[in-house]
């Protein structure tokens, strides 16, 4: 039976998780699973978990563990025969423990970005509570009519307990820096020791 590869990228808002995840997915053929996408999908579909999540987002609060796991785990159960990459989940030790009941993670990447860099990146980031959509006023602004319904997205810090637990399992790898393009080569090298890149897969199939 084929061994499926399961990984996650963690880091505070503005750390470049989405960019790194997309590069990993494209380079190594992993299915990219964004917790933010599943949140927006649940809210738009008015699922029970989506409705609950919306009440917290509208108040500018983090979505509680039990709501996030109710939202994410059914999706992940459907992907038991796939290799995938999680963006922004698990965020806490409780979420990680719930996930571990389904799957054994192979690799977790933690992005450590200086506070000043995060503050600069987040100064233009806003979230629309009703939909959960995230905007950047510099390169991805919302339409004018929804401006009055936006709230500044607060920074959240990855749980120290979560990182300690992942480190004890030997699956946590941390990367520090201020520019995604400079961090990426090191992440790419690490992943190449764990899973075959698509470019090499193409070569071996010739």
> Does residue 205 or residue 190 have the better pLDDT?
190
Got the DSSP string for 92-122?
A: SHHHHHHHHTT---SEEEEEE--HHHHHHHH
What does the DSSP assignment read for 137-153? TTTBPPPGGGGGG-EEP
pLDDT at 113: 85
**Percent share of the chain, pLDDT over 70:** 76
How confident is the model at residue 26, as a pLDDT? 94
- Give me the residue label for tokens 């979560």: 162
Residue partners of 129: CB distance under 8 A and separation at least 6? 54, 57, 58, 60, 149, 150, 151
Whether 58 is in a domain gets the answer yes
The sign of the torsion formed by the CA atoms of 52, 48, 46, 81 equals: positive
Give me the number of domains the chain comprises. Answer: 1
Is 155's pLDDT higher than 70? no
pLDDT given for residue 157 in this prediction: 43
Integer CA distances (angstroms), 120 to 113, 116, 117, 154, in order: 11, 6, 5, 13
Q: What is the pLDDT of residues 59-95, one digit of tens each?
A: 878 899 999 999 999 999 999 999 999 998 999 999 9
Number of H helices and number of E strands within the chain?
9, 8
CATH of residue 31? 3.40.50.300
Which of these ranges, 57-61, 144-148, 195-199, has the smallest mean pLDDT?
144-148
- Domain span at residue 129 reads 6-204
CA–CA dist 201, 189 (Å, integer): 16
Note the pLDDT tens digit of each residue in 29-54. 999 999 989 999 999 999 999 999 99
Q: What is the pLDDT of residue 119?
A: 77
For residue 135, tell me if it sits in a domain: yes
pLDDT band, residue 199 (cuts 50/70/90): low
Is there a domain that residue 1 lies in?
Answer: no
Average pLDDT score over the chain: 82
Question: What percent of the chain is modeled with pLDDT above 90?
Answer: 57
Residue 134, pLDDT above cutoff 80: no
């Amino acid at each position: 039976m084929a061994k499926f590869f399961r990984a996650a990228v963690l880091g505070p808002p503005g750390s470049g998780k989405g960019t790194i995840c997309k590069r990993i997915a494209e380079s190594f053929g992993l299915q990219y699973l964004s917790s933010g996408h599943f949140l927006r999908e649940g809210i738009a579909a008015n699922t029970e978990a989506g409705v609950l999540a919306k009440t917290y987002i509208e108040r500018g609060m983090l979505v509680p563990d039990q709501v996030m796991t109710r939202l994410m785990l059914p999706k992940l159960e459907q992907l038991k025969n796939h290799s995938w990459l999680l963006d922004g989940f698990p965020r806490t030790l409780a979420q990680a423990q719930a996930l571990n009941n389904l799957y054994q993670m192979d690799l977790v990447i933690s992005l450590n970005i200086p506070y000043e860099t995060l503050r600069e990146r987040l100064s233009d980031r806003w979230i629309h509570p009703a939909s959960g959509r995230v905007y950047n006023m510099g390169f991805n602004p919302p339409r004018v009519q929804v401006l009055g319904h936006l709230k500044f997205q607060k920074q959240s810090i990855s749980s120290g307990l979560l990182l300690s637990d992942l480190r004890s399992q030997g699956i946590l790898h941390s990367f520090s820096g201020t520019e995604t393009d400079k961090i990426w080569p090191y992440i790419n090298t690490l992943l190449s020791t764990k899973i075959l890149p698509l470019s090499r897969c193409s070569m071996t199939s010739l």
